[in-house]
């Protein structure tokens, strides 16, 4: 089984990490559109256009499935990708909502959804959560976290200030949807900020559960080979992957 993983930049590596840990695939082809990141501040049509261009790149490989490891792409481009792809396409938003539903039994739970401007504006999470009976939702675009993570800032004053800026008026949530694949890298900090036992929903873990359940994929490959591509500075992506994916990388 060969999987294509697409993100606007390096954030999708958090999804790759989960895929590597669960050994669901023999080969992962990753493409990060590093020349044009961030997508989260762009409009729907631009995100769709960039996503279709990435799809053309993946058509050069005989992949079995494409995972859009980017919430902003998952929010807008899934219908177009599905229409044009010769293989199944899976986004991260629905799996995230299903993961939350499995973890949170109380429909009255307070849920905080954070993501890029594009993801929050799409209302995708909000609508799906409403359909599942969750109505106590607060959604907050927290786009600054993307460049902070891209800069390799995982602690300290800049991150603390950004969290204060975004969260100062938000009550402690029971669950937080990390609606951007960059955010698992600062998940611990976000959890600490609210100083409670908030349940965090992470796109990578959610997609693994989804693939195991709905695509009947199982842990079966002892080794996964990872090929990394980027539209700009692939060397930087490879260096970051070595650090982030350790020790899952083989």
CA 115 – CA 72 distance, rounded (Å):
8
Kindly indicate which of the ranges 31-39, 58-66, 77-85, 207-215 contains the residues binding ligand DGL, using the contact rule CB under 6 A: 31-39
- Annotated catalytic residue 70: yes
Q: Which strand ranges, in their side-by-side order, compose the sheet holding 27-32?
A: 89-90, 65-68, 2-7, 27-32, 225-230
Q: Is 39 in the site for ligand DGL (CB under 6 A)?
A: yes
Binding segment (CB under 6 A) for ligand DGL, from list 8-16, 82-90, 124-132, 190-198: 8-16
Told to check if 7 binds ligand DGL by CB under 6 A, we report yes
Least distance (Å) from ligand DGL to the CB of residue 221? 26
Residues, the chain:
250
CA distance 207 to 204: 5
Candidate residues 18, 34, 142, 181; the one interacting with ligand DGL per rule CB under 6 A: 181
Strands 2-7 and 137-141: unpaired
Size of the site for ligand DGL (CB under 6 A): 17
Looking only at residues 202 through 241 of this chain, which bind ligand DGL when binding is defined by CB under 6 A?
none
- Which span (70-78, 124-132, 162-170, 241-249) binds ligand DGL, by CB under 6 A? 70-78
Residue (of 89, 88, 70) closest to 78 by Cα position: 89
Q: Is 222 left (phi over 0), alpha (psi -120 to 50) or beta?
A: alpha
The distance of closest approach from Cβ of residue 5 to ligand DGL in the complex, given in angstroms and rounded to an integer, is 11
Q: Name residue, tokens 């606007």.
A: 8
Tokens (6 digits) for 68 = 């859009």
For residue 15 the two structure tokens come to 């999804």
Binding site for ligand DGL (CB under 6 A): 7-9, 11, 37-40, 70-72, 116, 119, 146, 180-182
Q: Give the residue numbers annotated as catalytic, written as ranges.
A: 70, 180
């Amino acid at each position: 089984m060969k999987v294509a993983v697409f993100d606007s930049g390096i954030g999708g590596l958090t999804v790759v990490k989960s895929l590597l840990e669960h050994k669901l695939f023999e080969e992962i082809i990753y493409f990060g559109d590093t020349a044009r990141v961030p997508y989260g501040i762009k409009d729907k049509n631009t995100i769709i256009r960039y996503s279709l261009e990435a799809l053309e790149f993946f058509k050069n490989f005989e992949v079995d499935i494409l995972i859009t490891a980017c919430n902003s792409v998952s929010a807008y481009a899934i219908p177009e990708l599905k229409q044009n792809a010769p293989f199944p396409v899976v986004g991260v938003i629905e799996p995230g909502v299903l993961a939350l539903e499995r973890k949170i039994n109380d429909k009255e739970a307070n849920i905080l959804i954070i993501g890029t401007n594009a993801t929050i504006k799409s209302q995708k999470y909000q609508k799906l959560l409403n359909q599942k009976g969750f109505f106590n939702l607060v959604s907050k675009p927290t786009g600054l976290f993307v460049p902070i993570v891209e800069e390799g800032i995982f602690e300290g004053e800049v991150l603390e200030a950004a969290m204060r800026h975004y969260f100062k008026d938000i009550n402690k949530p029971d669950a937080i949807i990390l609606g951007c694949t960059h955010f698992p890298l600062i998940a611990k900090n976000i959890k600490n900020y609210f100083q409670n036992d908030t349940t965090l929903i992470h796109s990578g873990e959610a997609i693994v559960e989804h693939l195991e359940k709905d695509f009947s994929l199982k842990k079966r490959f002892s080794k996964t080979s990872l090929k990394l591509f980027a539209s700009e500075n692939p060397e930087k992506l490879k260096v970051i992957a070595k650090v982030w994916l350790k020790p899952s990388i083989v």
